[in-house]
Amino acid sequence: MEPIDPSLIDWSRAQFALTAMYHWVFVPLTLGLGLIMCIMESIYVKTGHEFWKGLTRFWMKLFGVNFAVGVATGIILEFEFGTNWSNYSWFVGDIFGAPLAVEGIVAFFLEATFIALMFFGWDKLSRGTHLMSTWMTVLGATLSAWWILVANAWMQFPVGMDFNPETVRNEMVSFAAVALSPVAVMKFLHTVTSAWVLGAVFVVGVSSWYLLRGRHSDFARASIRVASIVGLIAAIATGFTGHQSAVQIARIQPMKLAAAEGLVDGGQGVGLVGVGLLKPGVNWANPQEDPFLFKVEIPRALSILATNDPNGYVPGIRNLLEGGYPGEDGLPALSADQQMAIGKKAIQSLVTYRAAREAGDGAAAKTAEESLRRSFHYMGYGYLNSPEELVPPVAVTFYSFRVMVILGGYFVALFAGLLLLGHRIERVRLIPLGVLLSIPLAYLASEAGWVVAEVGRQPWAIQGLLPNCAAVSRLATSSVQLTFWIFLVLFTVLLLAELCIMLRVVADGPESSSKAPAAE
């Protein structure tokens, strides 16, 4: 078989990354706005005050515009698994397709059923029934996120499966193990709470614009108060779930953690780089000098983050490639060369098994299958040509991680400050201006989180089992390039259209300018 053109892999990855990052512009705002408008409508149903109905309907308009565009990009994203990554789809289709099917049948059906009642049922349904429709719509969107993140978590931590050498496919043996994987649960919690943060930043930012313009002040203050409470709780929860995710990553994806820290040589009691600047052109597989131009380090913090122990051992990039450090089972960890050798043995065992089956040699087939199962865990390493391929893009991962963490801390301070200031936010004009300018920072933090998650696990399509070079479809590179530019133009037009519509909605303002109730 002819070797795959490396540029085909790069362009296929670029096209998928383009689609995923555009899609992720819309998803967190859907989840975040959804929760806030549910809370506002719940207040309306409880108090009966039309003021809260006006708040809910305004944010619901923005939710609807964003929701519609997000669906379009999400559909394209799922089709790309079959077009650009057909080998991946064949290898794991029986497992990966299950949560996506559940998402389409159950979660999306739930959204589609209740969203019409939510938008058009204000004057036709009772308050309680309409409130239920709103909550069910947002629940459906959240369940969609759950099943998609289950599929993504399986790529990072494949469980609940058995490899069938006859069909060369992984087959699901436990749906519960896939759906309730601890990695899936924590990824869902971290992703959804971070989406709530983005939604809260969006609400306080738009509301601050009204304060700057001297319009709809009661509306803006009430929105800021609700969103700040949601945002503060969500930002703290995001930090907690991020820590728990780091503990998981240290165990199942240690190379991702090492790349996120620019950690070459690990050890016990390792510090966390708070801020730092990497030297350009570093050979991360075997650097001959300190890769940092400068860094400010928090002593022992990385060991705490990764192991919950200030003296815990954290391997660096060189340790992971050379092996020999203490593994979880107490035995020395294998080197990259050893893992690649075992992986090539697994691939050869699969070839031998299939040849023996075709020849009708049952004994040889059984021997080859037993050998395959012993070495299957390292099968993906057999497709690699050198240990250096196991090192992800360190600089991208390192800087993205810092953007995510630093902005996460900023949002905690932002929401706490807004709650402490209360109505005094308007006294200093720079405060609402700064809040408004925080909206793009929320999107930057959200996208940076996904960059860490996906770029940091390269070169794997499925961790340890299937690298990108074995997962990609054998297409003409030119066709992938063409569709990349088509999608770039299409998604940009969709994004600009959404921005124009949302800006018009914001400029028009809420339907009612009624005063907030005195008790509020």
Q: What is the phi/psi pair of residue 198, to 5°?
A: -60, -45
pLDDT-derived band at 156 (thresholds 50, 70, 90) equals very high
Minimum mean pLDDT among 75-89, 197-211, 350-364: which range? Answer: 75-89
**Does 293 map to a domain?**
yes
Mean pLDDT of 49-77: 87
Given a cut of 50, whether residue 520 has pLDDT beyond it is no
Quick one: CA torsion of 107, 71, 176, 88, rounded to 10 degrees? 150
307/350 same-domain check? no
User: What is the spatial distance between Cα 72 and Cα 58, in angstroms, rounded to a whole number?
Assistant: 23
Q: What is the phi/psi pair of residue 275, to 5°?
A: -135, 150
| Per-residue model confidence (pLDDT) at position 228 | 96
Given a cut of 80, whether residue 182 has pLDDT beyond it is yes
**Does 53 map to a domain?**
no
**Does 474 map to a domain?**
no
**Does 466 map to a domain?**
no
Instruction: Read off the pTM.
Output: 0.92
pLDDT-derived band at 111 (thresholds 50, 70, 90) equals confident
| Per-residue model confidence (pLDDT) at position 512 | 59
Mean pLDDT of 104-117: 80
Given a cut of 80, whether residue 334 has pLDDT beyond it is yes
| Per-residue model confidence (pLDDT) at position 226 | 96
Given a cut of 90, whether residue 514 has pLDDT beyond it is no
Contacts of 180 (CB under 8 A, 6+ apart): none
378/342 same-domain check? yes
The mean predicted confidence, pLDDT, of the chain is 90
Q: What three-state secondary structure class fits 463? A: coil
276/316 same-domain check? yes
Query: Given 383, 399, 416, which residue is the final one in a domain?
Result: 383
Mean pLDDT of 77-81: 81
**Does 371 map to a domain?**
yes
What percentage of residues in the chain have a pLDDT greater than 90?
A: 67
- How many domains are contained in the chain? 2
Higher model confidence: residue 501 or residue 512? 501
315/340 same-domain check? no
pLDDT-derived band at 96 (thresholds 50, 70, 90) equals confident
355/311 same-domain check? no
Contacts of 324 (CB under 8 A, 6+ apart): 332, 333, 335
**Does 315 map to a domain?**
yes
Q: Please give the DSSP secondary-structure letter assigned to residue 386.
A: S
| Per-residue model confidence (pLDDT) at position 393 | 94
Query: Given 269, 294, 322, which residue is the final one in a domain?
Result: 322
Helix axes 127-156, 6-47, angle to 10 degrees: 150
User: What is the spatial distance between Cα 31 and Cα 421, in angstroms, rounded to a whole number?
Assistant: 27
**Does 306 map to a domain?**
yes
Given a cut of 90, whether residue 273 has pLDDT beyond it is yes
Mean pLDDT of 328-350: 91
User: What is the spatial distance between Cα 221 and Cα 28, in angstroms, rounded to a whole number?
Assistant: 23
pLDDT digits (tens, 9 = 90+) for 405-452: 999 999 999 999 999 988 777 767 788 889 999 999 999 999 999 999
**Does 515 map to a domain?**
no
pLDDT digits (tens, 9 = 90+) for 389-399: 999 999 999 99
User: What is the spatial distance between Cα 316 and Cα 404, in angstroms, rounded to a whole number?
Assistant: 21
Can you tell me which residue has the tokens 């050798």? 341
Provide the residue range defining the domain that includes 357.
336-383
394-397's contacts with Cβ under 8 Å and 24+ in sequence apart are 394/259, 394/262, 394/278, 394/282, 394/284, 394/317, 395/278, 396/451, 396/455, 397/256, 397/259, 397/260, 397/451, 397/452, 397/455, 397/456
